[in-house]
Amino acid sequence: MPTHKIIVAIDGLSSCGKSTLARELAAQLGYNYIDSGAMYRAITLYFLRNNVDLSDPAEVINAIANINLSFVFNERRNASDIYLNDENAEPYIRDMLVSEKVSEVAALREVRSFAVAQQKRMGRRKGIVMDGRDIGTTVFPDAELKLYMTADPEIRVMRRFQELYAVNHEISLDEVRNNLELRDYIDSTREESPLHRAADAILIDNSNLTREEQLKQVLALVNERIQTTDKQH
Ligand code: DC
């Protein structure tokens, strides 16, 4: 019997472990992993470098017209690097400067329609795991499997702090906590496709799960969905 490829949509607040899970899942399944947040981060990097005035829609539209985003697989990371107009933007997009601005940029209608159109195209052939904030609700409302991830806020702060501290010893816990709280707030209350759990998304709270336990649980869900999809065809 043929095995059909499916789309796995993973949403949730910042630092819930979405990308870790998505990357491992894609590797196990031989699917593509797309970090949609990296796209908003790369757009933000371009806006910062070019002093784009976010309050001027014409300026924003012009800037977007000059942006080309692509993903190139990096074997060392076992994930794709995002390219901003032929430059590997991966080393810059997690900077605090970008993190501080990205929610504001991602709330702009023009930015979202640009990113979402590209994300939809990337899913046309299925076999994709994509994580973000609106993947199960807006980008792939028909995804065969939708997950909504949460974790205890302090655990999320500690995880993000450890990640950032590894590359920048200047970073403080308060800085990380403030940034996460602010992004959570903007991402969940913006007008354009705010973060919310799709009615058919499965809730995964990974506060007390190891990476292995989480992956095992989700792989079981994926296999169940693949079997259902196979039966339907
Ligand atoms: O997942 P992340 O923290 O790298 O995402 C960066 C920002 O991008 C996040 O604060 C909200 C925004 N984002 C979004 O609005 N929609 C997505 N699908 C993914 C990210």
Residue 102 near ligand 1, beta carbon < 6 Å: yes
The three-state secondary structure class of 172 is coil
- Exposed / middle / buried, residue 158 (Cβ in 10 Å: 0-12, 13-18, 19+): middle
Q: Are 25 and 8 in contact (CB under 8 A)?
A: yes
Question: Average pLDDT of 80-89?
Answer: 97
Residue 119 near ligand 1, beta carbon < 6 Å: no
Distance 132 CA to ligand 1 centre (A): 6
Residue 40 near ligand 1, beta carbon < 6 Å: yes
pTM (predicted TM-score): 0.94
pLDDT tens for 104-134 read 999 999 999 999 999 999 999 999 999 999 9
12: amino acid identity, one letter: G
Residue 11 near ligand 1, beta carbon < 6 Å: no
Distance (Å, rounded) from C-alpha 228 to C-alpha 224? 6
| Average pLDDT over all residues of the chain | 95
Residue nearest to atom 4 of ligand 1 (CA): 37
Question: Between vectors from CA 86 to CA 124 and to CA 6, what angle results, nearest 5°?
Answer: 20
Residue 140 near ligand 1, beta carbon < 6 Å: no
Residue nearest to atom 13 of ligand 1 (CA): 37
Distance 231 CA to ligand 1 centre (A): 35
pLDDT value at position 2? 60
pLDDT tens for 132-164 read 999 999 999 999 999 999 999 999 999 999 988
Structural domains of the chain, with CATH = 7-225 (3.40.50.300)
CB contact burial 42-53 (16+ within 10 A = b; e otherwise): bbbbbbbeeebe
